Amino acid sequence: MAASPVKNAVETGTLPAGVRIRVSPKRLATILDIKASTLERWRVMGSGPPYRKLNGAVRYALDEVEAWAQQCRSGGSRAV
């Protein structure tokens, strides 16, 4: 059976237009090299990267996290 187009796109780094990769707080914490509890604290404080709740689960869109990180680096809103 052939792999799904999205799986192939993720593996090759070329996503179809409009497709977003969303990750859990645990996965994002690993990517950012921070504790998941830091992300939780930022959510409570109303800071940190944007997130959505999908069926009750917190998820972060990687493109939005990257934009947030760029803004923090260029003197925009602080992470904390």
Concatenate the DSSP letters of all residues of the chain into one string.
Answer: -PPPHHHHHHHHT-PPTT---EE-HHHHHHHHTS-HHHHHHHHHHT-SS--EEETTEEEEEHHHHHHHHHHHHTT-S---
Full pLDDT tens readout for the chain, 80 residues: 556 666 666 667 676 677 788 999 999 999 999 999 999 999 999 999 999 999 999 999 999 999 999 988 765 555 54
CATH of the domain at 62: 1.10.10
> Is 11 part of any domain?
no
* Residue range(s) defining the domain that contains residue 37: 19-73
pLDDT at 9: 65
pLDDT at 64: 92
- Return the bridge partners of 52, or none: 59
pLDDT at 20: 82
> Is 48 part of any domain?
yes
Count of structural domains within the chain:
1
pLDDT at 19: 74
